[in-house]
Chains A and B, each alone.
Chain A
Amino acid sequence: MKDTNKIRFLLQWADNSLILGHRLGEWCGHGPVLEQDIAMTNIALDLIGEARNVYQYAAELEGDGKDEDYYPYLRKERQFYNALLLEYKNTDFAYTIVRQFLYDTFHYYALLSMMDNSIDGRVKAIAAKSFKEVSYHLEFSSDWMKRLGDGTEESHSKMQEAMDHLWEYGHEFFMKSPTDEWAIEAGLIDDLDLIYKKASNIRKEVIKDATLKIPETPYFKSGGKNGIHTEQLGFILSEMQYMQRTYPGATW
């Protein structure tokens, strides 16, 4: 099958945004304040919209009749390539903000890189479209990192707990899979080490302003890019895919 590597690269990209968008959708109607409900839904819309654009491209490349919905609704657990962080349960607003921030710092620089330097015109275009939105996401999550990290004692301790749990999931984005190596070589995206440097700088800066500590982390979690997920993904897919599995072949 042609373009296998490119397709897999696109799926890594789209799956990240899809799964996180899906998690954010769970907050709808349950946010800590109405204005924030709207903000998180906005982000979810952006992310799922981005995933949709990327899946469409992947479907065209595969050229065997798949459409944008095939990837989210008909693949199995081992065929998803999102990072583990994004499957993590919402848990509470602190975990949600830390998860968001860790993704945004990677997402922002990854999109910037693809937007500026990708040799693939379509990748460039999709990245450019999402970049504006993700700039806002990064501002949003950075603001809330500081607001909650340096708010009350209670908010600070909740944030530190979230950091302690999620930090080890935050590095997978930069750990190069064979697909990443191929994509870098092919000029689709810059070297992840460069992206890591930039993301890391922002992370350190905001975390410091938030008066939070980076936990000791001897090992970082990974596996998503290999389709080896946490137990969460199965449950996510059970809900997400229920309708299409129950009514196979139907149009919605």
Chain B
Amino acid sequence: MNKNEWPLFEIFIRSKSGLSHKHVGSLHAADADMAIKNARDVYTRRNEGVSIWVVESKHITSSNPDNKDMLFDPAEDKIYRHPTFYDLPDEVKHM
């Protein structure tokens, strides 16, 4: 690893009124502790009572989204770079 490069972390936030953690994006940090602090600064803008999870991207394995389509290899695989989440934009309500 390049001595300069900070690993990539995926960020999950549960808001005060939320029921579960949602994937909001990623950022670079030197370690998990810093990732949490950075996530607080970037993704919560000082909101109270949020819960933040951070996971190094390389530790996330995701399933193939197109299981029924025989053109794609359905086997589970290490992700290309990021997990795939069907994250709906905040605009979509009641779903």
Chain A residues within CB distance 8 Å of chain B: 33, 35, 38-39, 42, 133, 139-140, 143, 147
Contact = CB atoms under 8 A, between A and B. Distances in A.
Nearest to B30: A147
Given A33-B28, A147-B30, A39 B37 contact: yes
A135 B85 CA distance: 34
Contacts of A140: 37
B41 A42 contact: yes
Nearest to A46: B46
Contact of A39 (B6, B28, B30, B41): B41
A199 to B, nearest CB: 22
Contact of B27 (A35, A139, A143, A147): A35
Interface in B20-73: 27-30, 33-34, 37-38, 41-42, 46
Interface range on chain B: under 10, 10 to 19, 20 to 34, or 35 or more?
Answer: 10 to 19
A133 B38 CA distance: 15
Interface of B: 6, 27-30, 33-34, 37-38, 41-42, 46
Nearest to A38: B41
Contacts of B46: 42, 133
B43 to A, nearest CB: 10
A143 B32 CA distance: 13
A108 to B, nearest CB: 17
A48 to B, nearest CB: 14
B41 A35 contact: yes
Nearest to B35: A35
A37 B6 CA distance: 16
Nearest to B42: A38
Nearest to A133: B46
